[in-house]
Structure 1
Amino acid sequence: MTDHWHPVEDWDGQADIVELRDLKALSEVTHPIRGRLMRRLRVPRSAAALAEVLDVPVTRLYHHLNLLESIGLIRVVATRRVGAATERQYQSIARTFTVAIEPVDQRDRPELAAAFGSLFDVAKLGFQREIELGTYDQTTVYGETSTLSLRELQLSPKRRAELMARLQAVINDYDPEVDGDLSEGERVVLFVAAYPETP
C-alpha cells in the first residue's frame, strides 16, 4: 500500500539563488549525472521519478543523490510509505545556482579549470546526442529551433561590459519560474561562455 506524501518539518522552501563558494560544490554540480539531477530537482521528485525522466536505472541514482544531499545542495522535502519501505522526494535548495568562488591560488587552478571544463563537456555531449538522435539536421541547427556560434570579438572595456550585461539580461528574461513537466513547451538547453582570451 502506498501512502500520501508528507512534507518534512524542517524544510523552509527553495531559495531563489544560492552562491557556490567552494571548489568541491562546483565540482559536484558539474558532474554529468549530478548536473542533470540538479536541473530536474528544481521541483520535488523521487528517485523513481528522476530515473524515469532521465531514462537512467534508479539504482544508479542513489549514490549521486546521497552525495548531493551530504554536501547540502539538495534536501529531502517529503516522505511516504511504500509497503515496508520509505520513499523520499528530493529538491534542490535553490532554483538557481551562481558561482562566487574566491580567487584561488596557483595550486587550485587546475581543479577549478577541470570543474568549469566539465560544463563544456556536458554541453557538447548533450548537443551531440540530440544530433545523433535526429533532433537536429542541417536545416534546423542554424534555424529557429537551435543556434551554434563560436566567435572571437575585439571589444573595448565598455563594449565588453555591455555584452555581458545583455547576455545576462537575456538569460534572466527566459529563466523559468519553475521546472515543470513540459506540458506547455519543450526543454531548451542554453550554454553561454564569454571570457577574455590570452593573446
Structure 2
Amino acid sequence: MEAVASVADLETLQALAHPIRLRILGALRAPASPAVVARGLDEPRQKVNYHVKELERVGLVRRVGERRAGNLVESLYEAVAATFVVSPRVAWTDPRRTGALADQVALETLVATGERLQRAAALLLDRAAFDGEQIASAAVEAEVRLAGEAQRTAFLSEYVAAVGPLLRKYGDRDGEPYRVVLAVHPDPSPGSVTTEPQEET
C-alpha cells in the first residue's frame, strides 16, 4: 500500500466522491472482505460489494488474496493507498491550462510544488492521526510589494543571499531531514495587486 496517492482523472474522482466509498476506503486500510467491511459499516453486504467492485474498477482498491469463511471463499481487498489527495489537474479540462504550464516553466514549478506540499501534508497528518506522532512543522507566510520585474529579481537575489548561509550551515548536519520551500507568486485574490512570498517548512 502506498502512503499517499493522487487522484488526477475525472472518472476516478467521480468514483471517489460517493460517501459510502470514502468509508469503505477507510475500512480497507488493512485487507478485508466486503462482508467484513459491511458489518463494520452497518451496511448491506451486497451494497458494499458493489461499491468495492467499482473502487477496484477505477484502481482505488485491489484484490490482495482470499480466505475461507465456513464453506465460502471470500476475496480480500485493500485500498491502494492509505490516503488520497485530489490533484487540481483533475478539473483542468481546458487545454489552454496545459499549454500555459508548458510555456511558463516557473508557473509549472509552482503548481508541482503545491502538489508536493499537499501530498506531504496529507502524509504527515496520517502520521499524527494514526501513529500518534507529534509533527514538528512550521509555515511562515509574509507579504511584500514589488513594483516590477527589477524589484522581483532583486528581492529573490537578496532572499537567496540571506537564507543561503543558513541552508549551508544546516544542510550538512546529521539529523532528520526537513524540506524548506520558498514560493513567490502574485496574490491571486480578486482585486489584489500584491506579490506573496511563502516559506514553508
TM-score for both structures, normalised by structure 2 = 0.47
Higher strand share: 2
Larger RCO (alpha carbons 8 Å, 6+ apart): 1
- Counting helix residues as a fraction of each chain, which structure ranks higher? 2
Whichever of the two has the greater Rg, that structure is: 2
Relative to the length of structure 1, the TM-score reads 0.48
